[in-house]
Amino acid sequence: MNILNAVDKENIAIVGAGICGLCTALALGSKGHRVTVYERDIPPPEGGAEEAFFNWKRRGAAQFRHPHAFLSVMCNLLEERYPDLVGEFWRAGARKMTFTDTLPPELAATYVPEPGDEKMWLLMCRRATMETVLRRYVENTHGITIANNTSVIGITTEERDEAQAITGLELRTSEGDIETIHPNLIVDASGRTTKFPEWFEKRGCTFGVEDDDAEIVYYTRHYRLHPGEDEPPRHGEARSAGDLGYIKYGIFPADNGHFAAILCIPNHEEELREAVKDADGFQQICLTIPGIEPWVNESKSTPTTHPFGFGDIHAVWRHYVKDGRPQALNYFAVGDAAIRTNPLYGRGCSTGIMHAHLLAELLDEISDPAERALRFNEKTEEILRPIFKASLSDDKRGILRAKSIFEGNQLDEASTLRGWLRAAFLDAVAAAAREHIHVVRGALRTFNLMEKPGDFLKDRRVQWIVLRYLLRGRGRNAESRLQPGPSRLEMLAVLKDTAGG
């Protein structure tokens, strides 16, 4: 039977079979809805993680080969609701990084577990592994169908209660067949390049948007440890993830002996951005950073890819309600189609599944289209807005710091006393979160989205610790934020010598 004819008004259509779209299908399917996911790309190839990473053509996922991780909020949700799915991840070689794994030796030596620490863990593997495992699990879930090689090329709508109610999707298969289907609801999980706002705008329905450039680009290169080689320590004097002021860097352990190195560079660092595009330049930068060198030297590992970049990094929030009235009915955007944060913070997968389950709960409780739209907007603001604002604030602070380093200053100077005090406070929090277990625990709860950003700062004990750090001076606190490594000018000199040689 033609898959396009299998959809009726009882079905929910999801556009996009990325991680967010698949998680949305699970959330809706678990409520008894019949779901069809429309995906323009081909399914994963037969075989395991290696075949998926090297052979799967995923044109529709710009971040497909960049590092990913599931934060604690997502890991615990999956473990609670889909424990057999988590088991499939372990069988595919995914890694579990616990709270104690994140502690440097000096803190681990005196660590005393507290209730809730066991809930702080990450699931780490290559995104190709993530999508393959998740896709095969969803495909075998009752009530869910995935229509591959099927592009959504347009929508049909009708005006209803001063809003545009979406009534259909125009589809094109890989064979060129075009058909319009009429599901009851449409969920947009098509990501950062969603076409829905453009299609609605042609019908006179414009969504408000906040859009802030993070002013960075990051490059990734994948490696594989040599047979018999163990991973180097992630802590010590030079950590495997950190900030040199002009470059942020990180090692992302993955599945089956693989790992990725990322280098995040401000837009204004033109010489570094040019160097990092080249395999030799990327490798030289990595070998010059003490926290990365033990991983990527030729005696430890072999590169499996060339470096590749990801730019156009923006914080984006789309508004689907204006002046208390929904602009679109029977349409819900989830994940990056609605809200984007800097992928450097690793929050996209986790906020996507939070958004998906929020929608599933709401659809179960409310049937009126307008009320659904309003409540979805209200709950999205309540749950995800604080995460978005915290990410945006981090972006703006990062921009100021990088520009200060570029200009030869150690500290980013605030234009007002209030701004200076805020910067000094944040530097004190960052320093305390590296050196004091109680603050580390609170900061990691925030990082893992287990509580609203900054909630741990309401703790009296944390407040007194941060105050002590404030009193030791901003310069010292800011210095502890940076990892050991070459200065900006020293790095440029190394690259110049390498290119000259």
> Is 367 contained in some domain?
yes
The CATH number covering residue 348 comes to: 3.50.50.60
Q: Do 284 and 333 have their domain in common?
A: no
Q: Is the pLDDT of residue 466 over 60?
A: yes
Q: Is the pLDDT of residue 482 over 60?
A: yes
Q: Do 79 and 94 have their domain in common?
A: yes
Q: For residues 24 and 189, is the Cβ–Cβ distance under 8 A?
A: yes
Q: Is the pLDDT of residue 328 over 50?
A: yes
**Residue found by looking up tokens 């944040």 in the block:** 426
Q: Do 146 and 245 have their domain in common?
A: no
Cβ neighbors of 420 (< 8 A, separation 6 or more) are 413, 414
Q: Which of 8-22, 167-181, 329-343 has the lowest mean pLDDT?
A: 8-22
Look at residues 124, 141, 167 and tell me which one is the last residue of a structural domain: 124
**Confidence grade of residue 474 (pLDDT, cut at 50, 70, 90):** confident
Q: Do 342 and 366 have their domain in common?
A: yes
For the entire predicted model, the pTM comes to: 0.92
135 φ/ψ angles, rounded to the nearest 5 degrees: -60, -45
Amino acid in position 154: G
**Confidence grade of residue 501 (pLDDT, cut at 50, 70, 90):** low
> What is the average pLDDT across 322-350?
94
Q: Do 77 and 177 have their domain in common?
A: no
By percentage, how much of the chain surpasses pLDDT 70?
96
> What is the average pLDDT across 168-194?
93
**End-to-end CA, the chain:** 64
Q: What is the mean pLDDT of the chain?
A: 91
Q: Which of 217-226, 395-404, 419-428 has the lowest mean pLDDT?
A: 419-428
Q: What is the pLDDT of residues 45-86, one digit of tens each?
A: 998 889 989 989 888 777 788 888 899 999 999 999 999 999
Q: Do 367 and 379 have their domain in common?
A: yes
> Is 398 contained in some domain?
no
Q: Looking at residue 5, what is its pLDDT?
A: 36
> Is 154 contained in some domain?
yes
> What is the number of domains present in the chain?
4
Q: Looking at residue 500, what is its pLDDT?
A: 64
Amino acid in position 221: R
Q: Looking at residue 1, what is its pLDDT?
A: 32
Q: Do 228 and 343 have their domain in common?
A: no
Q: Do 297 and 185 have their domain in common?
A: no
Q: Do 467 and 327 have their domain in common?
A: no
By percentage, how much of the chain surpasses pLDDT 90?
72
The CATH number covering residue 265 comes to: 3.30.70
> Is 223 contained in some domain?
yes
Q: Looking at residue 420, what is its pLDDT?
A: 72
DSSP letter, residue 232: P
Amino acid in position 255: D
Q: Looking at residue 414, what is its pLDDT?
A: 63
Q: Looking at residue 292, what is its pLDDT?
A: 96
Q: Do 461 and 427 have their domain in common?
A: yes
Q: Do 276 and 416 have their domain in common?
A: no
> Is 308 contained in some domain?
yes
Q: Is the pLDDT of residue 423 over 50?
A: yes
Q: For residues 285 and 491, is the Cβ–Cβ distance under 8 A?
A: yes
Q: Looking at residue 407, what is its pLDDT?
A: 84
Q: Which long-range contacts (CB under 8 A, 24 or more apart) does 110-118 make?
A: 110/437, 111/437, 114/441, 116/445, 117/441
Look at residues 312, 340, 361 and tell me which one is the last residue of a structural domain: 312
Q: Do 333 and 383 have their domain in common?
A: yes
Q: For residues 347 and 71, is the Cβ–Cβ distance under 8 A?
A: yes
**Confidence grade of residue 92 (pLDDT, cut at 50, 70, 90):** very high
| Domain assignment of residue 430, given as a range | 410-481
Q: For residues 230 and 192, is the Cβ–Cβ distance under 8 A?
A: no
Q: Is the pLDDT of residue 11 over 60?
A: yes
